[in-house]
Amino acid sequence: MNNIIKTKIKDLFFKTFSEEYITVEKLPISGSSRLYFRIISLKRSVIATYNEDKKENFAFLYLSKLFKKKRINVPEIYSQDIENRIYLQEDLGNETLFDRVKRIRKENDFPIEIINLYKKVIEQLVELQINASKGLDYSICYPRGAFDKQSIMWDLNYFKYDFLKFTDVQFDEQLLENDFISFTNYLLKTNTHFFLFRDFQSRNIMINNNQIYFIDYQGGRKGALQYDLASLLFDAKANIPEYVKKELLEYYIKYAKKLTKIDEQEFKEFYFAYALIRILQAMGAYGFRGLYEKKQHFIDSIPYGIKNLNSILEEVKLLNELPELKRVLTELISSKKLKNIEESNKLKVTIKSFSYKRGLPYDNTGNGGGHVFDCRFINNPGRIEEYKKLCGKDKPVIDFLGNMTETHEFFASIKQIVIASVKNYQSRSFKNLLINFGCTGGQHRSVYFAEKTASLLKKKFNINVELIHTEGF
């Protein structure tokens, strides 16, 4: 099937640009069933999209043309083959807002550079929601023209059947349904006559030549302003600190007030309610794409989703009138089964230090081994009398090794290989990865690099890391 699609894409590319392609690369599959390809010729790089759903394609193409005309940064559509369900669009590169945040951010820090970037995103979002949507024909939107009662109930049931059912939280079906109806009716009491992007999160925001671009808005429809803002700020893996969320909420209101009338108190009350429905919809996706389809990225998002849920319960005053929903969400936060699922689906990375005198460590997983890094070319602290009884965990040895250029160069190479391996193993839902560090006695250099690698991976990934020093250090 892919070969047929590629042939159709190549034909459309030649017809559009009168150029021969050099390469056609299939891009990684995301949460949707759409297929993306990067086509490169001597003069250009273009993204080709194949999507079986003609109605969704038509909605995306219509919205792209409208938004481009209204000067919103969205990809330019070069050509389309509706019958074969293919279109060619501008290549905006590979860097998403999520990638930029991940690269700049250090642990829990959220530097001003990132905050300012989010403010630029908010400015363009407001323009899109209020100004660019004027004259939009919502009857073309997919799958519905508005985020209405039916849409909200779909999201709530998505959460119930594709996430909640995987947990150990019991619920009364009728009482929960009653609360869903009340919750839905409440959400629709605010102004819902703006454009709602629907999946407005950091992976759908591209950064190209320091300009912000929006992608994947084919599910957009009419709705409330609060939904997209909540989607952005409660984006699970972006993990935005609470103080930053508050600052960006205030910034959004201040900017939106320039374009439309807003009652701040009312806006905030509905904002938290819409944040809740967005979190529940996302949890449904984590359940279906992660717990059911076993896609690791979605499984990894579950703890962040639970954290978001926990942070918002006290803010949604309406929950006091929805007793069954409030009880279910409260119990969900401490679900033992959910925590066990999360742990069992994590990649386990075992890191071992060893002595070459005793041979390579045994791989207990049955996978036949893993990475082996030979540390013996690094100057051996064990030959220096004052370090002989110490090991790679002791500060004098750490300082000794850390002062050598070759140590930093070696670890830079290790980082590149190990990080790439972990990402690949997670994307393929593998369960185990073994990384070995060897030196002459398994005491100094191997222990040092094993410790550094374990620390790196614990900080960078939501995985289980087991550290074993086979010589007992």
* Segment 217-235, tens digit of pLDDT: 999 999 999 999 999 999 9
d(CA 195, CA 197): 6
- Backbone φ, ψ for residue 350 (5° rounding): -100, 125
Distance between start and end Cα atoms, the chain: 55
Q: What is the pLDDT of residue 132?
A: 92
Q: Which domains does the chain have, with CATH numbers?
A: 2-90 (3.30.200.20), 97-344 (3.90.1200.10), 348-469 (no CATH)
Q: What is the pLDDT of residue 32?
A: 73
Please say whether the beta carbons of 101 and 202 come within 8 A: yes
Residue 313 corresponds to which tokens in the numbers above? Answer: 């319960």
Q: Which of 443, 463, 437 shows the shortest CA–CA distance to 345? A: 463
Share of the chain above pLDDT 70, in %: 98
* 15-35 average pLDDT score: 88
The model's pTM is: 0.76
Q: What is the pLDDT of residue 102?
A: 84
Mean pLDDT, the chain, whole residue set: 93
Please say whether the beta carbons of 376 and 440 come within 8 A: yes
432 Ramachandran zone, left/alpha/beta (phi>0; psi -120 to 50): beta
Question: SS3 for 206?
Answer: strand
**Mutual orientation of helices 264-285 and 225-233 as an angle, nearest 10°?**
60
* Segment 38-57, tens digit of pLDDT: 999 999 999 999 999 999 99
pLDDT over threshold 80, residue 343: no
pLDDT over threshold 70, residue 107: no
pLDDT over threshold 90, residue 429: no
* Segment 164-183, tens digit of pLDDT: 988 889 999 999 999 999 99
Q: What is the pLDDT of residue 339?
A: 77
Strand partners, 221: 196
pLDDT over threshold 90, residue 186: yes
Distances (CA, A) of 158 to 103, 225, 282, 458: 33, 22, 9, 32
Question: SS3 for 286?
Answer: helix
> How distant is the alpha carbon of residue 441 from its chain centre?
42
* 238-246 average pLDDT score: 92
* Segment 138-148, tens digit of pLDDT: 999 999 999 99
